[in-house]
Amino acid sequence: MLSRVAGNLFWMSRYIERAENVARLLDAGRRMNTLPTSAEARAAEWSSIVIAAGCSQTFPEPLEQANARSVAEHLIFDRENASSIRSCFHQARENARAVRQAITADVWDAANQAWFEMRTKSSATVLGGEFAQLLDWTKTQGHRFRGAIDDTLLRDPGYHFIRVGQYVERLDATMRLLDVKYHVLLPADEHVGGLIDEVQWLQILRAANSSTAYRHVYRAPVKPDLVVHFLVLNALSPRSLRHSAGMILRHLDLLKSMTGASHDCHSRIYALLGRLEDESVDDIFAHGLHEWLTERIEENHRLANAIADAYGFGQRQPEPVVPAEPGAEVCEAADAAAADASAPGAKMQGQNQG
């Protein structure tokens, strides 16, 4: 398979997954917005969504002034934001168009229809009362896209590049969703482990579509350690880090068996999966959840670069901008912009986006 085709398939999948995951971040913000809290805490909730999405450097207003409308506008409709839902669907469609010969009509229709329908949506309508519906619609497009892939594509190298892209993006997204909780302020009269804290953790689970599965597995109230275990270490959870890392390993191993070549990316994913199998929730909290997530975001970033190096598509992405001081913003805006600019078809996408 040509490197260019592999890269287009990898990024097509990442953009669809990213659109869905931005919707999940916004859904977390929407749900937390319904909780009784102070104006300061409410602004912190929305700024946390911007930070977790890696868009604090592209956000057009001071973060302390973030609110539902400004954050939704930037993360859904902003054409200048390469990680907005609108931009992701457009770029997914352009990457799919570049490799029409490598995908089925059903996969093309899923990517093309998502972009076509997205163009009909306006911020006035969505922010005027159809916010939740737009987020649900976005997640549905991701389900439809993955269903078309599962039902119609040959299990050839192209299929495995699509799946690797999906799970690299999902690994990143689950960490960012968990990190939302780090940046959210509790009300002054509320304590860690109290009712508001528990409800905030529940909203993280719900945004990950994992609250029902969580209760099936643990049969216990929502607790921070159990939520982290479910979304990080539980291999049965389809959005957990361990599950995503395992799927990346599976598809990279299948690519290795098809090509006969082993690369640095294989050793990197083995190391990441080994860490997730060996560490406990106590180890993660002892290290500091935010700090641990930041290190894994960087590790996943280096893995993505190693995959691009191994299979010859795209330029290497620069290191993500990660603050040194606890409590500072975890931001990857420069990385996201560079990644989108270096992705296959990005130049064409920038010229044609309208």
> CA 106 to CA 108: how far, in whole Å?
5
Residue 353: pLDDT above 60? no
Question: What integer pLDDT is reported at residue 1 of this predicted model?
Answer: 67
Task: Specify whether the CB–CB gap between 249 and 232 falls below 8 A.
Answer: no
The pTM score is 0.84
The mean pLDDT value for 313-332 works out to 45
> CA 116 to CA 240: how far, in whole Å?
31
Question: What integer pLDDT is reported at residue 341 of this predicted model?
Answer: 39
Taking the CA atoms of the chain, what radius of gyration do you get in angstroms? 19
Task: Specify whether the CB–CB gap between 37 and 196 falls below 8 A.
Answer: yes
Cβ neighbours around 63 below 10 Å, total: 17
Of residues 127 and 173, which shows the higher confidence score?
Answer: 173
For residue 286, what are the contacts with CB-CB under 8 A and spacing of at least 6?
A: none
Question: What integer pLDDT is reported at residue 72 of this predicted model?
Answer: 92
| Per-residue pLDDT tens over the stretch 223-248 | 999 999 999 999 999 999 999 999 99
From residue 267, how far is each of 23, 133, 263, 306 by CA, in Å? 32, 42, 7, 10
pLDDT band at 38, cuts 50/70/90?
low
Residue 192: pLDDT above 80? no
Please state which of the ranges 35-44, 126-135, 160-169, 187-196 shows the lowest mean pLDDT: 187-196
Residue 39: pLDDT above 80? no
Mean pLDDT of the chain: 84
Question: What integer pLDDT is reported at residue 53 of this predicted model?
Answer: 86
Task: Specify whether the CB–CB gap between 74 and 224 falls below 8 A.
Answer: no
pLDDT over 70 percentage in the chain: 81
Question: What integer pLDDT is reported at residue 67 of this predicted model?
Answer: 87
| Per-residue pLDDT tens over the stretch 275-320 | 999 999 999 999 999 899 999 999 999 999 999 999 998 654 544 4
The mean pLDDT value for 163-181 works out to 92
For residue 285, what are the contacts with CB-CB under 8 A and spacing of at least 6?
A: 225, 228
> CA 320 to CA 316: how far, in whole Å?
12
| Per-residue pLDDT tens over the stretch 21-37 | 999 989 888 887 776 56
The mean pLDDT value for 322-329 works out to 38
